[in-house]
Structure 1
Amino acid sequence: MAYKSRSSPARQRAKPNSPAADELRRRIATDAARIMAEEGVRDFQSAKRKAAARLGLPETRHLPGNNEVDSALQEHLRLFHGGSLIQSVRRLRELAAEAMRFLARFEPRLVGPVLSGTVTPASAIELHLTADTAEEIGFWLQEHSIPYELTDRRLRFGGDRQATFPAYRFTADDVPVELCIFDRLEAREAPLSPVDGKPMKRANLREVENLMSEAAGP
């Protein structure tokens, strides 16, 4: 007697734009958000693929968008880290402001999770700096005896343009700090956000200080 194998619900192939496909996207987004919040994964794509593999979905046709994962991450943090999240955001913004004062000559602007407030234990303070040459930043860090790692960041811009920028990484009070360096012409255009594909929100020191004042209340 022949038997037909039955695949599990997670492995069944769902049609695009069907209720089943929407449910798969939601499940992947929810698990990817948990992975980012609890396991120190910062990259959306890595978290989504890891979540899909755990759900038995080797195909990537139903991966959610980064904005869907970000929304799920905000909800996860609100539900499971509500009280500590407020304290974490405050501390990271205070450290960011301190770093921006230290780097004031390079016109620092805060971007990323610390600005948006969607922070996890793995979140870094991300700053965009402006300088004639990237070496200026390295000399400044060396002058102040700050050990760093030189790397680069690949960013997207409008018109499907991509560009690679020099970057520096170091640690301050056990928090990773990442500096992405733009020349004066490049600094005029904000890169696209990995979350929603729109120009990144960027805040100067005064705007960060205003955020902290508003959060502190009267």
Structure 2
Amino acid sequence: MPRLHGHHAARRAQGNRQQLRRRIALEAARLISEHGLRDYHRAKLRAAERLGIRDDQALPHNDEIESALREHQRLFFGNSQIEALQARRLAAREAMRFLQRFEPRLVGAVLEGTADQHSAVCLHLFSDTPGEVEQFLSEHGIRYELRERRLRMDRERNLTIEVLQFIADDIAFDLSVLPRDGLRQAPLDRVRPRAMQRASLGALEALLRAHPAAPM
């Protein structure tokens, strides 16, 4: 009987932990959706803290948070989230046409379908000439802020890149500038252990024609 009792106790502990993971994922989704928090790791740590949960094994995986985020958006935002997503996809299309010389690729929430009113249009641009994108924006009167970001290209290699950020028509834009050979290899996704999903202008236009504002 002691062995059977131990088995039931383990199953009960596992069930409790799954419930905690679910609670943390839902709270993280709320923080992301309602407060514009975009770092999934930071969101789940803050959610666990707010809920008073100190069990590291109860922290949900990023894909669990993304699933909870989609659920939260459907339940609480409905059409407003769809409208925000559509507006950003249309803005992405115009920006990609404007930046076509840099072979832009759409990435992130706008592509994946989880974008809301807090989301930026995130693009990867490609150039081997330092400052080329900066000069292009300046020539067209676009004022931007310059940042740096580290991308994980694979399990062993990180790449520090230049990021240009600005707001146009009340929509934020986030332009990551990668070397041209970055076209062949997408960085690792921040949510799932795989290459980041990216879309060319043609792919985005096909998405808009076939499934307006629908997730990829």
Please say if 1:23 is aligned against 2:15: no
Q: Deviations over 1:81-118 (max 9, x none)?
A: 12122211111000000110110100000000000111
Equivalent residues, number: 204
Please, which moves more after superposition, 157-166 or 86-95?
157-166
DSSP-derived class of the 1:52 partner: helix
Please say if 1:33 is aligned against 2:29: yes
> Aligned residue for 1:111?
107
Please say if 1:209 is aligned against 2:205: yes
Structure 1: which amino acid aligns with 2:143? Answer: P
DSSP-derived class of the 2:173 partner: strand
> Aligned residue for 2:121?
125
Change (3 A) 1:216 1:71: closer
DSSP-derived class of the 2:165 partner: strand
Measure, in 1, the Cα distance between the counterparts of 2:55 and 2:158: 27
Q: Is the 8 A contact 2:85 2:116 kept in 1?
A: no
Q: Is the 8 A contact 1:111 1:202 kept in 2?
A: yes
How many angstroms does 1:58 deviate by?
Answer: 4.0
DSSP-derived class of the 2:194 partner: coil
Measure, in 2, the Cα distance between the counterparts of 1:152 and 1:122: 21
Correspondence for 1:149 among 145, 149, 170: 145
Correspondence for 1:172 among 168, 173, 192: 168
| TM-score for the superposition, normalised by structure 2 | 0.88
How many angstroms does 1:119 deviate by?
Answer: 1.1
Correspondence for 1:79 among 71, 75, 78: 75
Measure, in 1, the Cα distance between the counterparts of 2:181 and 2:201: 21
Please say if 1:96 is aligned against 2:92: yes
Measure, in 2, the Cα distance between the counterparts of 1:100 and 1:138: 16
> Aligned residue for 1:48?
44
Structure 2: which amino acid aligns with 1:87? Answer: E
Aligned-residue RMSD, C-alpha: 2.0
Q: Which segments of 5 or more consecutive residues in structure 1 lack a partner in the other structure?
A: 1-13
Q: Is the 8 A contact 1:49 1:60 kept in 2?
A: no
How many angstroms does 1:61 deviate by?
Answer: 3.6
Q: Which segments of 5 or more consecutive residues in structure 2 lack a partner in the other structure?
A: 1-9
Q: Is the 8 A contact 2:81 2:117 kept in 1?
A: no
DSSP-derived class of the 2:66 partner: helix
Structure 2: which amino acid aligns with 1:112? Answer: G
